[in-house]
Amino acid sequence: MSFINPFAFTFAAALPVVVVFYLLKRKRVVQRVSSTVLWQKFLADTQASAPFQKLKRHWLLILQLLMLALAVLALSRPYFSTPTAQGRLIVAILDASASMQSTDVVPSRFEKARTEAVSWVDSLHDNDQMVVLQASASTQVKQSPTSNKAALRRAIQTCSVTDGPTRLAEALKLAETLTRDQPAAEVHLFSDGAATGLSELENKGLRLVYHRIGASADNLGLISLDVRAHPEDPSRRALYLGIANCSTNEKSSSLELLFNGQLLETRNLVVPPRSTSPQVFTASQAKDGIFTVRLGAKDDLTADNQASIVSLLPRPSRVLLMSKGNRFLEKAIKTAPNVELENATAYIENQKKYDVVILDDVAPTVWPTANTLAIHVATTNWFPGWKTLSAPPIVAWKNTHPLLRFVNFDTVQIAESLVVASNSWAVPLVESTQAPLMVAGELKRQRIIWLGFDTLQSTWPLRVSFPIFIANAIDWLNPAASQAAQLFVRAGDSFRYSLTQPLTNTTVNAVSPDGQKHPLSLEGGGRELVFGDTAKQGIYHVQIGTNDLPFCVNLLDAPESDITPRTEMEFGKYGKVKATTVQRADLEFWRWLAALGLGVLMFEWWYYHRRSV
Amino acid sequence: MSAPLLSPDLLRRLEQFQLLSRRRSKSSARGERRSRARGQSVEFADHRNYVPGDDFRYLDWNLFGRLERLFLKLYEEERELPVTLFLDASESMAFGTPAKFTFALRVAAAIGYVALCGFDRVNVRLFPENPAEGALRNALRSVRGRASARGYFERLGQLAAQGSADFNACLRREAMQAQPGGLAIVLSDFLDPAGYEDGLKALLGRGFQISAVQILAPEEVAPSTYGDLQLLDAETGAVQEVTFGKFRLAAYQKCAGQYCQRLREFCQARGIRFFSASSDTPLEELLLKQLRQAEVWG
């Protein structure tokens, strides 16, 4: 026999107390009377001078001790391990994303979700099992399947809310795996429903119960932030940010811009209900530093009221253009800001001094080591194979990628193009009906853009989108730009930073915004820093010896800032799960009964002795 | 100076009463009570033949004229009625508000006054023995005549309740020492651990016509002290522990009532007139109502 709650045996300390109560003789008031004859029927205890009397064999005492011992035994919850029928498996998923920090319910949505989850733990039957998952930017298994309610409560208590976005799909897929071949399994999701990426998830018979947490949506939040060179004045920096109002009322707020903690500008803004307000700040910058924007509005969610970004001073990008002659391309490169262009008609092997190499229909003898834009380069070992397509139509392009920002291919025709098979490191950006025409990616810390068609064999150079793409490409390929991008991390994502020189025998620590130090791991032969504990947003500092490298972790997630509690969640194309407002839970109340029994026992003792004569 | 035991108004009302006895007096002293003895009085009793030596003044000459035989007229002798008051003066009688002993003294004074007014002899016997009050107690052993009433009251007022008494033993001893026959009034609380039966039986054996008056204090009828108590018996010194509360008051009163009822039944079964009174009862209630209705006096 084992005990689920062995700490209840501490109540056994009450056993000697009962005995002492019997031994203890109460202090009495001496009263002189004429005669004790009439009191004879009321006499109970015989007189004794000692404060304790001899313990007699008292049936009432024995019964009380027996009852108390049984109550203590019941509170310790003994059990026998015997084979029994399999019970239910309940997967409890706690949404620990930033939106669960909302205080529209007291004390917060996450605490409410935690309380509801604990009440479900209390309702578990003896042979039921439960799994506890915490879902935020990543999914953590807080407790594997168990019937141990104490362990489940502990696991739920260890869950903590993060500043990251919700990626429920990962948690639901894990739940689906856990509940496979379990007909009585249930998945209980404690969330406000603010999640993305569920459209790709097909609900295959998952018994999902959605416990909606949240009441209102009063929030004004930052959803995007970027810093670039000012398009009209390259000596200044421009900050582009987006502010979303997810409430149904117009909201006004102050907006502050700080650089390295110093206030630069404050402005007031009014955001209409359910809309987004773009804002642009311009500021001069004398050295590398951190811009911080701060909203002053008081709302239900504070996690999205502040964001920071590392701004590095722009450095001229040294570009080597190897081309047989392309005026359009050359002019487009020169139009781009901060570019020092050198032309070459033939291949140059010594490219160390260049930040970006552009190969325009030139086959290299040795592939460049710098970041490269390869245009119509056929003989490449970057891809497993290639072929030629005649007049491929452009059917899709990924304009969410930084390379294709403000780039449109609607009126672009191509006479002929090389196409390659897709590869794991490259992302297709422009696609024809059969194969991608443009891919981009990072291979061994080298950024590569591969364009399959000769621009002179297309109408693209005549379109406005061409110089925009070239400017985007040079900016993306600039190592300074990629370095700045590495210093901008979304909450929950890993921080990865490439080093120019490998580190050996050097202590590297990351200091989080709350001042805690975390050792950093070095990968790639000491040339890449990796840090994964970015659940809280703010400014982190990497200490490499005596050097300090700051990086910023931000929420900046529009679905997460929209804290409107969803009444239903959509899964895939057709699946929907409605919020469950009332869900029956079998709540045990034996503890209260046991405690009441103990109370009655104590009261009985007190009342008996009060009445006894 | 302490307050008088009886008020003048009550004394005037008591003068109208006379103690009633169901038996003829057996006393040898002359008085105003009828007796079986023959002697000088105005009440004719019988005739008997003349024998030489009889007083000629008692010859019935009318009968001699009709029968020409000498007969002597006999008259009833009037004797006194001894009234003996057995007064419990133990420590327990000193309790109560007012004290039980004070009440008992007032009852004794009233009965004694009625007896003195009826030319009966009053004999007060106190128990337990108290050598310090020896002279006082001896003076109360035989009081007669209305003129003695004032001294009788003064001596009663000087008595005090103290010491412990074995009710049965004391009553047996006093009964043996007292003049047998006549009225006996026992004034006590009858709260003795050893009981009261033997003492009363001893009085019956001595031919007394007994009236028992039980006097209890209000605190004994309805105790007002609650909580965990250690009761100390004033007479025996015995200690009893008790936890008492309002919720037990009814049970206590029932228990006390049963005790008094047993005493009443014991007395009624033996022809003893029984009276019960609390020490805060108005004296007139007992004297003018209960004793009169029970024909102790009339």
Which chain B residues are within 8 Å of A612, Cβ to Cβ? 243
Asked whether residue B181 carries a pLDDT value surpassing 80, the answer given is no
Q: Are residues B54 and B108 in the same domain?
A: no
A119-133, A234-248, A599-613, B22-36: which range is least confident on average?
B22-36
Give me the domain span that covers residue B41. 30-79
8 Å CB contact of B244 and A609: no
As for how many domains chain A has, the answer is 4
Asked whether residue B119 carries a pLDDT value surpassing 90, the answer given is no
Q: Are residues B116 and B140 in the same domain?
A: yes
Q: Are residues B94 and B218 in the same domain?
A: yes
Q: Are residues A103 and A186 in the same domain?
A: yes
Q: Are residues A55 and A168 in the same domain?
A: no
Q: What is the pLDDT of residue A50?
A: 44
8 Å CB contact of B255 and A41: yes
Q: Which residue has the higher pLDDT, A499 or B14?
A: B14
Q: Are residues B119 and B158 in the same domain?
A: yes
Q: Are residues A409 and A351 in the same domain?
A: yes
Q: Are residues B106 and B235 in the same domain?
A: yes
- Amino acid in the structure at residue B170: C
What value does the mean pLDDT of chain B take?
A: 85
Confidence bin at B35 (pLDDT 50/70/90): low
Q: Considering the domain boundaries, does residue A246 fall inside one? A: no
Asked whether residue A239 carries a pLDDT value surpassing 70, the answer given is yes
Q: Are residues A163 and A25 in the same domain?
A: no
Using CA atoms, how far apart are residues A432 and A295, in angstroms rounded to an integer? 44
Q: Are residues B179 and B71 in the same domain?
A: no
A5-14, A148-157, A360-369: which range is least confident on average?
A5-14
Q: Considering the domain boundaries, does residue B18 fall inside one? A: yes
DSSP state of A25: P
Q: What is the pLDDT of residue A152?
A: 93
A146-155, A567-576, B137-146, B155-164: which range is least confident on average?
A567-576
Beta pairing class for B121-127 and B143-144: antiparallel
Residue of B nearest to A609 (CA): B243
8 Å CB contact of A31 and B225: yes
Residues 249-278, chain B, touching A (beta carbon < 8 A): 251-252, 255-256, 259
> Mind telling me how many Å the CA of A115 is from chain B's nearest CA?
48
> Mind telling me how many Å the CA of A607 is from chain B's nearest CA?
12
DSSP state of A274: T
Q: What's the average model confidence in pLDDT over B219-246?
A: 83
Using CA atoms, how far apart are residues A78 and A140, in angstroms rounded to an integer? 31
8 Å CB contact of A43 and B242: yes
The domain that holds A494 is classified in CATH as: 2.60.40.1930
Residues 159-178, chain B, touching A (beta carbon < 8 A): none
Of B95, B238, B244, the CB nearest to A36: B238
8 Å CB contact of A38 and B256: yes
Q: What is the pLDDT of residue A134?
A: 93
8 Å CB contact of A611 and B245: yes
> Mind telling me how many Å the CA of A599 is from chain B's nearest CA?
23
ipTM: 0.77
Q: What's the average model confidence in pLDDT over B148-164?
A: 90
Three-class DSSP category at B138: helix
Cα distances (Å, whole numbers) of residue A417 to A390, A411, B26 = 6, 16, 162
Q: Are residues B65 and B182 in the same domain?
A: no
Confidence bin at A524 (pLDDT 50/70/90): low
What does the DSSP assignment read for A208-245? Answer: EEEEE--S----EEEEEEEEEE-SS-TTEEEEEEEEEE
Of A38, A47, A609, the CB nearest to B191: A38
Residue of B nearest to A35 (CA): B233
Q: Considering the domain boundaries, does residue B137 fall inside one? A: yes
Q: Are residues A377 and A457 in the same domain?
A: yes
Q: What's the average model confidence in pLDDT over B149-175?
A: 89
Q: What is the pLDDT of residue A589?
A: 66
Q: Considering the domain boundaries, does residue B116 fall inside one? A: yes
Residue of A nearest to B90 (CA): A34
Residues 27-56, chain A, touching B (beta carbon < 8 A): 27-39, 41-47
As for how many domains chain B has, the answer is 2
Q: Where does a domain end: B47, B79, B111?
A: B79
Q: Considering the domain boundaries, does residue A241 fall inside one? A: no
Give me the domain span that covers residue A14. 2-81+591-611
Confidence bin at A43 (pLDDT 50/70/90): low
**pLDDT tens, position by position, A434-486:** 888 999 998 877 889 999 999 999 999 999 999 999 999 998 888 777 777 88
**pLDDT tens, position by position, A184-217:** 888 898 998 877 777 777 766 778 888 888 888 8
Asked whether residue A613 carries a pLDDT value surpassing 60, the answer given is no
Q: Considering the domain boundaries, does residue B1 fall inside one? A: no
- Under 8 Å between Cβ of A214 and A104: yes
Q: Considering the domain boundaries, does residue A256 fall inside one? A: no
Q: What is the pLDDT of residue A157?
A: 93
Using CA atoms, how far apart are residues A212 and A305, in angstroms rounded to an integer? 24
Asked whether residue A49 carries a pLDDT value surpassing 60, the answer given is no
As a whole number of Å, the end-to-end CA separation of chain A is 44
The domain that holds B191 is classified in CATH as: 3.40.50
What value does the mean pLDDT of chain A take?
A: 83
DSSP state of A452: -
Q: What's the average model confidence in pLDDT over A519-523?
A: 76
As a whole number of Å, the end-to-end CA separation of chain B is 33
- Under 8 Å between Cβ of A585 and A123: yes
Q: What's the average model confidence in pLDDT over B134-145?
A: 86
Which residues have a Cβ under 8 Å from the Cβ of A596 and sit 6 or more positions away?
none
8 Å CB contact of A42 and B248: yes
Q: What's the average model confidence in pLDDT over A341-368?
A: 82
Q: Are residues B192 and B258 in the same domain?
A: yes
Confidence bin at A315 (pLDDT 50/70/90): confident
- Unique residue bearing structure tokens 């001790």: A65
Q: Are residues A331 and A418 in the same domain?
A: yes
Residue of B nearest to A26 (CA): B228
Q: What is the pLDDT of residue A120?
A: 86
Q: Are residues B119 and B182 in the same domain?
A: yes
Using CA atoms, how far apart are residues A447 and A476, in angstroms rounded to an integer? 8
Asked whether residue A585 carries a pLDDT value surpassing 60, the answer given is no
Using CA atoms, how far apart are residues A102 and A174, in angstroms rounded to an integer? 26
Asked whether residue A582 carries a pLDDT value surpassing 50, the answer given is yes
Q: Which residue has the higher pLDDT, A505 or A611?
A: A505
Q: Are residues B233 and B198 in the same domain?
A: yes
Q: Considering the domain boundaries, does residue A296 fall inside one? A: no
Q: What's the average model confidence in pLDDT over A384-392?
A: 84
8 Å CB contact of B259 and A31: no
8 Å CB contact of B232 and A33: yes
Q: Are residues A472 and A340 in the same domain?
A: yes
Asked whether residue B136 carries a pLDDT value surpassing 70, the answer given is yes
Which chain A residues are within 8 Å of B222, Cβ to Cβ? none
8 Å CB contact of B241 and A610: no
The domain that holds A368 is classified in CATH as: 3.40.50.880
Cα distances (Å, whole numbers) of residue A128 to A211, A228, B62 = 20, 56, 131
> How crowded is residue B152: how many other Cβ atoms within 10 Å of its Cβ?
25
Q: What's the average model confidence in pLDDT over A321-340?
A: 88
Which residues have a Cβ under 8 Å from the Cβ of A201 and sit 6 or more positions away?
A169, A172, A173, A571, A572
Q: What is the pLDDT of residue A48?
A: 40
Of A33, A34, A47, the CB nearest to B241: A47
8 Å CB contact of B230 and A613: no
8 Å CB contact of A30 and B232: yes
Q: Considering the domain boundaries, does residue A297 fall inside one? A: no
Asked whether residue A581 carries a pLDDT value surpassing 90, the answer given is no
> Mind telling me how many Å the CA of B209 is from chain A's nearest CA?
28
- Under 8 Å between Cβ of A243 and A232: no
Q: What's the average model confidence in pLDDT over A303-315?
A: 88
Q: What's the average model confidence in pLDDT over B54-69?
A: 87
8 Å CB contact of B231 and A39: yes
The domain that holds A139 is classified in CATH as: 3.40.50.410
Confidence bin at A83 (pLDDT 50/70/90): low
Which chain A residues are within 8 Å of B221, Cβ to Cβ? none
Asked whether residue A611 carries a pLDDT value surpassing 60, the answer given is no
8 Å CB contact of A41 and B220: no
Q: What is the pLDDT of residue A81?
A: 67
Residue of B nearest to A612 (CA): B243
**Preceding omega of A519 cis (within 30 degrees of 0):** no
Mark residue B207 as left, alpha or beta (left: phi above 0; alpha: psi -120 to 50; beta: remaining).
left
Q: Which of A24, A27, A32, A36 to mutate to test the interface with B (most CBs of B within 10 A)?
A: A36
Q: What is the pLDDT of residue A316?
A: 80
Q: What is the pLDDT of residue A569?
A: 80
Percent of chain B with pLDDT over 90: 26
Q: Are residues A517 and A378 in the same domain?
A: no
> Mind telling me how many Å the CA of A609 is from chain B's nearest CA?
8
Q: Are residues A324 and A429 in the same domain?
A: yes
**Interface A-B: count of C-beta contacts within 8 A:** 103
Q: Are residues B72 and B98 in the same domain?
A: no
Using CA atoms, how far apart are residues A488 and B58, in angstroms rounded to an integer? 157
Q: What is the pLDDT of residue B40?
A: 67
8 Å CB contact of A611 and B243: yes
Q: What is the pLDDT of residue A565?
A: 86
Q: Are residues A537 and A576 in the same domain?
A: no
Q: Considering the domain boundaries, does residue A307 fall inside one? A: no
Residues 97-136, chain B, touching A (beta carbon < 8 A): 100
Q: Considering the domain boundaries, does residue A11 fall inside one? A: yes
- Under 8 Å between Cβ of B71 and B58: no
Using CA atoms, how far apart are residues A196 and A562, in angstroms rounded to an integer? 11
Query: Is B19 exposed, middle or buried, given 0-12, 13-18 or 19+ CB atoms closer than 10 A?
Result: buried
Using CA atoms, how far apart are residues B158 and A361, in angstroms rounded to an integer? 148
Of A31, A37, A38, the CB nearest to B232: A31
**Preceding omega of B282 cis (within 30 degrees of 0):** no
Percent of chain A with pLDDT over 90: 26
Q: Considering the domain boundaries, does residue B50 fall inside one? A: yes
Residue of B nearest to A42 (CA): B242
Q: Are residues B194 and B120 in the same domain?
A: yes
Q: Are residues A431 and A368 in the same domain?
A: yes
Confidence bin at B27 (pLDDT 50/70/90): low
Q: Are residues A76 and A93 in the same domain?
A: no
Which chain A residues are within 8 Å of B92, Cβ to Cβ? 34-35
Q: Considering the domain boundaries, does residue A47 fall inside one? A: yes
